[in-house]
Amino acid sequence: MPSQTTNTPEGSGGGITKTRGAQTLLPLTVKQIMDASQTNDDKSSFVVNGTEVSTVGAGCSASASIVQSCTDVKVRLVGRMMNKAERITDVRFILDDGTGRIEVNRWANETSDNTEMGLVKDGDYVIVNGGLKGFQGKRHIVAYSVRLVTNYNDITHHFLYCIYVHLDLAKAKKSATQPQVTANASTWNQAPPPNNQAPTLSASGNAGGQELTDMVMNVFHDPVLVNLEHGVSIAQVASRLNISDALARSTVAHLIDLGNLYPTIDDNHYKSTLNG
Protein backbone atom coordinates (compact mmCIF):
# COMPACT_ATOMS: atom_id res chain seq x y z
CA MET A 1 0.00 0.00 0.00
CA PRO A 2 1.22 3.57 -0.66
CA SER A 3 1.23 4.39 3.06
CA GLN A 4 3.32 1.32 3.92
CA THR A 5 5.99 1.29 1.26
CA THR A 6 8.84 3.28 -0.25
CA ASN A 7 9.20 1.00 -3.24
CA THR A 8 10.45 2.17 -6.61
CA PRO A 9 8.49 0.45 -9.39
CA GLU A 10 10.62 -1.42 -11.89
CA GLY A 11 7.94 -2.41 -14.32
CA SER A 12 4.42 -3.65 -14.76
CA GLY A 13 4.70 -6.20 -17.51
CA GLY A 14 1.72 -8.52 -17.57
CA GLY A 15 0.07 -6.60 -14.77
CA ILE A 16 2.71 -7.66 -12.22
CA THR A 17 4.20 -4.99 -9.99
CA LYS A 18 7.90 -5.51 -9.26
CA THR A 19 9.58 -3.62 -6.45
CA ARG A 20 13.00 -2.54 -5.28
CA GLY A 21 13.81 -2.24 -1.61
CA ALA A 22 12.64 -4.28 1.37
CA GLN A 23 9.97 -1.86 2.50
CA THR A 24 6.58 -3.34 1.60
CA LEU A 25 4.50 -5.27 4.14
CA LEU A 26 1.58 -7.10 2.52
CA PRO A 27 -1.26 -8.33 4.79
CA LEU A 28 -2.38 -11.78 3.63
CA THR A 29 -4.32 -14.84 4.69
CA VAL A 30 -2.89 -18.35 4.54
CA LYS A 31 -5.29 -19.21 1.73
CA GLN A 32 -4.00 -16.31 -0.37
CA ILE A 33 -0.46 -17.59 0.09
CA MET A 34 -1.42 -21.14 -0.85
CA ASP A 35 -3.31 -19.86 -3.92
CA ALA A 36 -0.46 -17.57 -5.04
CA SER A 37 1.07 -18.34 -8.42
CA GLN A 38 4.79 -18.64 -9.19
CA THR A 39 5.98 -16.74 -12.24
CA ASN A 40 9.73 -17.19 -12.60
CA ASP A 41 11.34 -20.28 -14.05
CA ASP A 42 13.37 -20.66 -10.88
CA LYS A 43 10.17 -20.22 -8.83
CA SER A 44 11.89 -17.59 -6.71
CA SER A 45 8.84 -15.39 -6.37
CA PHE A 46 5.09 -15.56 -5.88
CA VAL A 47 2.38 -13.27 -7.24
CA VAL A 48 -0.63 -12.28 -5.14
CA ASN A 49 -3.19 -9.93 -6.71
CA GLY A 50 -0.61 -8.86 -9.29
CA THR A 51 2.02 -8.00 -6.64
CA GLU A 52 5.27 -9.95 -6.72
CA VAL A 53 6.26 -11.42 -3.36
CA SER A 54 9.89 -12.53 -3.58
CA THR A 55 11.06 -15.46 -1.52
CA VAL A 56 14.31 -15.90 0.34
CA GLY A 57 16.74 -16.57 -2.50
CA ALA A 58 18.99 -19.57 -2.80
CA GLY A 59 22.00 -17.46 -1.92
CA CYS A 60 20.43 -16.03 1.23
CA SER A 61 21.17 -17.34 4.66
CA ALA A 62 18.18 -18.52 6.67
CA SER A 63 18.65 -15.90 9.34
CA ALA A 64 16.33 -13.04 10.21
CA SER A 65 18.94 -10.34 9.48
CA ILE A 66 19.60 -11.70 5.99
CA VAL A 67 15.94 -12.33 5.24
CA GLN A 68 15.27 -8.61 5.52
CA SER A 69 17.81 -7.80 2.82
CA CYS A 70 16.82 -10.67 0.50
CA THR A 71 13.05 -10.27 0.52
CA ASP A 72 11.46 -7.50 -1.55
CA VAL A 73 7.92 -7.82 -0.26
CA LYS A 74 7.25 -9.20 3.19
CA VAL A 75 3.96 -10.61 4.40
CA ARG A 76 1.93 -10.22 7.57
CA LEU A 77 -0.26 -13.01 8.93
CA VAL A 78 -2.42 -13.20 12.04
CA GLY A 79 -3.56 -16.50 13.49
CA ARG A 80 -3.32 -19.04 16.30
CA MET A 81 -0.02 -20.72 17.16
CA MET A 82 0.00 -24.51 17.13
CA ASN A 83 2.61 -27.28 17.60
CA LYS A 84 5.36 -24.96 18.81
CA ALA A 85 8.75 -26.72 18.75
CA GLU A 86 11.80 -25.01 20.26
CA ARG A 87 15.32 -25.89 19.16
CA ILE A 88 18.73 -24.38 19.87
CA THR A 89 18.87 -22.37 16.65
CA ASP A 90 15.21 -21.73 15.88
CA VAL A 91 11.56 -22.11 16.80
CA ARG A 92 9.03 -23.69 14.48
CA PHE A 93 5.25 -23.69 14.75
CA ILE A 94 2.07 -23.95 12.70
CA LEU A 95 -0.03 -20.83 12.16
CA ASP A 96 -3.79 -21.36 11.74
CA ASP A 97 -5.74 -18.26 10.68
CA GLY A 98 -9.04 -19.95 9.87
CA THR A 99 -8.41 -19.98 6.11
CA GLY A 100 -5.62 -22.55 6.28
CA ARG A 101 -2.42 -23.57 8.04
CA ILE A 102 1.21 -22.78 7.25
CA GLU A 103 4.53 -23.58 8.88
CA VAL A 104 6.48 -20.67 10.39
CA ASN A 105 10.18 -20.69 11.22
CA ARG A 106 11.73 -18.08 13.58
CA TRP A 107 15.53 -18.13 13.74
CA ALA A 108 17.09 -17.28 17.10
CA ASN A 109 20.07 -15.09 16.20
CA GLU A 110 20.05 -12.92 19.31
CA THR A 111 18.91 -13.11 22.91
CA SER A 112 16.01 -10.81 22.10
CA ASP A 113 14.74 -13.39 19.59
CA ASN A 114 14.55 -16.05 22.30
CA THR A 115 12.85 -13.57 24.62
CA GLU A 116 10.26 -12.73 21.98
CA MET A 117 9.42 -16.40 21.35
CA GLY A 118 9.26 -17.09 25.08
CA LEU A 119 6.28 -14.75 25.35
CA VAL A 120 4.07 -16.88 23.08
CA LYS A 121 2.76 -20.42 23.41
CA ASP A 122 0.40 -22.87 21.72
CA GLY A 123 -3.13 -21.49 21.55
CA ASP A 124 -2.03 -17.83 21.50
CA TYR A 125 -3.00 -15.53 18.67
CA VAL A 126 0.13 -14.00 17.14
CA ILE A 127 1.08 -11.45 14.49
CA VAL A 128 3.75 -12.82 12.16
CA ASN A 129 5.86 -10.64 9.86
CA GLY A 130 8.27 -12.38 7.53
CA GLY A 131 9.24 -13.61 4.11
CA LEU A 132 7.50 -16.24 2.02
CA LYS A 133 9.60 -19.23 1.00
CA GLY A 134 8.90 -22.22 -1.22
CA PHE A 135 10.87 -25.46 -1.21
CA GLN A 136 9.99 -28.70 -3.02
CA GLY A 137 6.45 -27.50 -3.56
CA LYS A 138 5.90 -26.63 0.11
CA ARG A 139 5.43 -23.04 1.25
CA HIS A 140 6.32 -21.65 4.64
CA ILE A 141 7.17 -18.36 6.37
CA VAL A 142 10.61 -17.33 7.58
CA ALA A 143 9.60 -14.88 10.32
CA TYR A 144 11.60 -11.94 11.58
CA SER A 145 8.91 -10.90 14.06
CA VAL A 146 6.37 -12.91 16.08
CA ARG A 147 4.28 -10.77 18.40
CA LEU A 148 1.55 -11.81 20.86
CA VAL A 149 -1.90 -10.36 20.13
CA THR A 150 -2.98 -8.44 23.22
CA ASN A 151 -5.91 -6.60 21.62
CA TYR A 152 -8.26 -8.94 19.80
CA ASN A 153 -9.40 -6.05 17.61
CA ASP A 154 -6.06 -6.60 15.84
CA ILE A 155 -7.42 -9.88 14.45
CA THR A 156 -10.52 -8.25 12.99
CA HIS A 157 -8.48 -5.32 11.71
CA HIS A 158 -6.05 -7.67 9.95
CA PHE A 159 -8.75 -9.48 8.01
CA LEU A 160 -10.49 -6.22 7.10
CA TYR A 161 -7.13 -4.88 5.91
CA CYS A 162 -6.59 -8.04 3.84
CA ILE A 163 -9.93 -7.40 2.13
CA TYR A 164 -9.12 -3.73 1.57
CA VAL A 165 -5.69 -4.44 0.07
CA HIS A 166 -7.10 -7.25 -2.08
CA LEU A 167 -9.77 -4.96 -3.55
CA ASP A 168 -7.33 -2.08 -4.00
CA LEU A 169 -4.77 -4.22 -5.84
CA ALA A 170 -7.47 -5.91 -7.91
CA LYS A 171 -8.81 -2.51 -8.96
CA ALA A 172 -5.32 -1.29 -9.85
CA LYS A 173 -4.68 -4.43 -11.92
CA LYS A 174 -7.98 -4.02 -13.75
CA SER A 175 -7.19 -0.37 -14.50
CA ALA A 176 -3.77 -1.35 -15.85
CA THR A 177 -5.24 -3.95 -18.21
CA GLN A 178 -8.06 -1.65 -19.37
CA PRO A 179 -6.47 1.80 -19.80
CA GLN A 180 -9.01 2.84 -22.37
CA VAL A 181 -11.89 2.69 -19.88
CA THR A 182 -12.59 6.00 -18.17
CA ALA A 183 -15.24 6.97 -15.66
CA ASN A 184 -16.26 10.06 -13.76
CA ALA A 185 -16.62 10.18 -10.00
CA SER A 186 -20.34 9.41 -10.04
CA THR A 187 -19.78 6.17 -11.95
CA TRP A 188 -17.99 4.46 -9.05
CA ASN A 189 -21.07 4.80 -6.83
CA GLN A 190 -23.45 3.20 -9.27
CA ALA A 191 -23.84 -0.57 -9.45
CA PRO A 192 -24.14 -1.97 -12.98
CA PRO A 193 -27.70 -2.88 -13.94
CA PRO A 194 -28.42 -6.61 -14.10
CA ASN A 195 -29.32 -8.38 -17.29
CA ASN A 196 -32.98 -8.28 -16.30
CA GLN A 197 -32.99 -4.51 -15.76
CA ALA A 198 -36.46 -3.16 -15.07
CA PRO A 199 -38.22 -2.24 -18.31
CA THR A 200 -39.44 1.23 -19.07
CA LEU A 201 -42.96 2.45 -18.56
CA SER A 202 -43.82 1.97 -22.19
CA ALA A 203 -47.54 2.21 -21.50
CA SER A 204 -47.28 5.80 -20.32
CA GLY A 205 -44.35 6.63 -22.55
CA ASN A 206 -42.82 9.07 -20.07
CA ALA A 207 -40.61 7.05 -17.72
CA GLY A 208 -37.34 5.25 -18.39
CA GLY A 209 -35.74 2.48 -16.34
CA GLN A 210 -33.84 4.81 -14.01
CA GLU A 211 -36.85 7.06 -13.54
CA LEU A 212 -39.01 4.08 -12.71
CA THR A 213 -36.59 2.84 -10.04
CA ASP A 214 -36.57 6.34 -8.51
CA MET A 215 -40.37 6.35 -8.47
CA VAL A 216 -40.47 2.94 -6.76
CA MET A 217 -37.95 4.07 -4.14
CA ASN A 218 -40.12 7.13 -3.47
CA VAL A 219 -42.99 4.79 -2.64
CA PHE A 220 -40.84 3.02 -0.04
CA HIS A 221 -39.86 6.39 1.45
CA ASP A 222 -43.44 7.66 1.57
CA PRO A 223 -44.13 8.83 5.18
CA VAL A 224 -47.51 7.11 5.04
CA LEU A 225 -45.95 3.69 4.26
CA VAL A 226 -42.49 3.89 5.77
CA ASN A 227 -43.56 2.75 9.25
CA LEU A 228 -45.61 -0.25 8.16
CA GLU A 229 -44.58 -3.21 10.31
CA HIS A 230 -44.12 -5.65 7.43
CA GLY A 231 -42.99 -3.10 4.85
CA VAL A 232 -44.50 -2.15 1.52
CA SER A 233 -46.14 -4.83 -0.63
CA ILE A 234 -45.77 -5.36 -4.36
CA ALA A 235 -49.47 -4.63 -4.73
CA GLN A 236 -49.08 -1.26 -2.99
CA VAL A 237 -46.21 -0.30 -5.30
CA ALA A 238 -48.21 -1.27 -8.37
CA SER A 239 -51.27 0.60 -7.13
CA ARG A 240 -49.38 3.79 -6.25
CA LEU A 241 -47.63 3.97 -9.64
CA ASN A 242 -50.46 2.51 -11.69
CA ILE A 243 -48.27 -0.21 -13.16
CA SER A 244 -48.59 -3.98 -13.40
CA ASP A 245 -47.61 -6.27 -10.55
CA ALA A 246 -45.03 -7.91 -12.82
CA LEU A 247 -43.37 -4.58 -13.61
CA ALA A 248 -43.41 -3.59 -9.94
CA ARG A 249 -41.86 -6.93 -8.94
CA SER A 250 -39.07 -6.78 -11.55
CA THR A 251 -38.20 -3.22 -10.49
CA VAL A 252 -38.14 -4.24 -6.82
CA ALA A 253 -35.86 -7.18 -7.72
CA HIS A 254 -33.52 -4.72 -9.46
CA LEU A 255 -33.43 -2.52 -6.34
CA ILE A 256 -32.69 -5.56 -4.17
CA ASP A 257 -29.70 -6.35 -6.40
CA LEU A 258 -28.49 -2.78 -5.86
CA GLY A 259 -28.82 -3.20 -2.09
CA ASN A 260 -31.57 -0.59 -1.74
CA LEU A 261 -34.38 -2.94 -0.63
CA TYR A 262 -34.69 -6.15 1.36
CA PRO A 263 -37.56 -8.65 1.92
CA THR A 264 -39.36 -8.88 5.27
CA ILE A 265 -42.03 -11.51 6.01
CA ASP A 266 -42.33 -12.99 2.51
CA ASP A 267 -41.57 -12.41 -1.17
CA ASN A 268 -44.27 -9.76 -1.44
CA HIS A 269 -43.23 -7.31 1.30
CA TYR A 270 -40.08 -5.20 1.34
CA LYS A 271 -38.43 -2.32 3.16
CA SER A 272 -35.82 0.22 2.21
CA THR A 273 -32.35 -0.31 3.66
CA LEU A 274 -32.30 3.41 4.49
CA ASN A 275 -35.32 3.05 6.74
CA GLY A 276 -34.23 -0.12 8.53
Q: What confidence category does residue 237 fall into, taking pLDDT thresholds of 50, 70 and 90?
A: very high
Of 40-44, 72-76, 201-205, minimum mean pLDDT range: 201-205
Q: What is the pLDDT of residues 206-222, one digit of tens each?
A: 455 788 888 999 898 88
Higher pLDDT, 184 or 174: 174
Q: What is the pLDDT of residues 15-26, one digit of tens each?
A: 444 443 444 788
Of 29-38, 154-163, 201-210, 223-232, minimum mean pLDDT range: 201-210
- The structural domains of the chain, ordered by start, are 26-150 (2.40.50.140), 209-272 (1.10.10.10)
Does pTM surpass 0.75? Answer: no
Q: Report how far residue 63's alpha carbon sits from residue 235's, in angstroms, rounded to the nearest whole number.
A: 70
Instruction: Say what the pLDDT of residue 177 is.
Output: 61
Type of residue numbered 146 = V
| pLDDT mean over 166-182 | 67
Higher pLDDT, 196 or 147: 147
